[in-house]
Structures are given as C-alpha cells and as structure tokens.
C-alpha cells in the first residue's frame, strides 16, 4: 500500500468501500472524494485507489482518462467547463470558447498563468435545450452570450 492518503481521507474512503459488496464498484465515489479533497487525482492517488478498490492501476487510469470530470493535474481557482456537444455547438459554444481564448489567451486544458482559471471542453453538461452552457465550479450557466460570460467572469474575480 502506498499510503498516499492522509488518515482522515482514508477513513472516509473506507466508509464508502463498506457500502459496496464489491469494492471495485466503489471506484467512482472514491475518485470523486479524492478529487474533492485534493483538487485533482495524482499518480500516487491512482495507485492507492487501485489498491483500496482491488483494481489494477491501469483500470483506474482507464476510468480517469475516460471521464472528463476527473482532473489529473491541479486546476485553477475557477474551473470553467464549456459544453461542446452538438446541441451546444449549434447554439454557439465555439463563440464562447473563442471569447475565453481572447479574454485570457487560454486554450482548453490549460490554466491561466496567475492560476485563476482553468478551461476545459466537456462533451455534455445535460442542458442541451439551453446551450451554450458553461459550468463554472458547480454553477451551471445556460444560454450564454459573450456579454453574459463577461459578467460571470467578473463575479469570479
């Protein structure tokens, strides 16, 4: 065991594992907890999650690289997720991404040099009828325009 998790986090993970008859099935809740506590899931977190859930490390890596909600490196203070699925694309998500690129010189998958914002493209935010959409932290913003986006960004400063 790598002992990457502090004892308090390990105790909460063990409580999650106890709710599942098959420890492997607890991987997603465990990863969500680790990310919430640490801000991202690093290589040592992957290794320990694999041991605790009875998985091979590659199985944890497969999950982390499949789901866009998991971060494998630290994010900025404000995580900006822009939906680029077909519905949001038709309704203008490319313009929202371009606006963020121009405003901050920020490319998807990158963090501003000051650590304020991380921009991520996501496949769907579940509000297809209200696109384009942006998830800023845990707050969903719908029917975005560049002006509405500027107002959101000012609130996040």
Q: What CATH number did the domain enclosing 27 receive? A: 1.10.10.1590
Instruction: For residues 88 and 54, state if they share a domain.
Output: no
| Peptide bond just before 25 cis, omega within 30 deg | no
Q: Domain for residue 37, yes or no?
A: yes
pLDDT score of 2 more than 80: no
pLDDT score of 60 more than 80: yes
Give the mean pLDDT of 38-46: 92
Instruction: For residues 45 and 111, state if they share a domain.
Output: no
Q: Domain for residue 54, yes or no?
A: yes
Instruction: For residues 53 and 83, state if they share a domain.
Output: no
Instruction: For residues 84 and 56, state if they share a domain.
Output: no
Domain range holding 11?
7-66
Instruction: For residues 83 and 151, state if they share a domain.
Output: yes
> Band of the pLDDT at 3, cuts 50, 70, 90?
low
What per-residue confidence (pLDDT) applies to 137? 85
What per-residue confidence (pLDDT) applies to 80? 92
Structural domains of the chain, count: 2
pLDDT score of 7 more than 70: yes
Instruction: For residues 103 and 150, state if they share a domain.
Output: yes
Whether residue 139 contacts residue 126, with contact meaning beta carbons closer than 8 Å, is answered with: no
Extended beta strands in 1-157, E state: 78-83, 117-122, 134-136, 139-141
Its pTM stands at 0.71
Q: What is the mean pLDDT of the chain?
A: 91
């Amino acid at each position: 065991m790598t002992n990457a998790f502090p004892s308090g986090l390990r105790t909460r993970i063990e409580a999650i594992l106890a709710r599942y008859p098959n420890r492997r099935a607890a991987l997603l809740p465990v990863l969500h907890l680790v990310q919430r506590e640490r801000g991202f899931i690093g290589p040592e977190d992957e290794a320990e999650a694999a041991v605790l859930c009875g998985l091979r490390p590659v199985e944890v890596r497969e999950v982390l690289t499949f789901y866009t909600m998991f971060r494998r490196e630290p994010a900025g203070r404000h995580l900006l997720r822009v939906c680029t699925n077909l519905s949001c694309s038709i309704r203008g998500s490319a313009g929202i991404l371009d606006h963020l690129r121009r405003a901050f010189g920020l490319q998807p998958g990158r963090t501003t040099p000051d650590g304020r914002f991380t921009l991520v493209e996501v496949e769907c935010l579940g509000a297809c009828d209200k696109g384009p959409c942006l998830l800023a932290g845990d707050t969903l913003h719908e029917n975005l325009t560049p002006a509405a986006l500027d107002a959101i960004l000012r609130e996040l400063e």
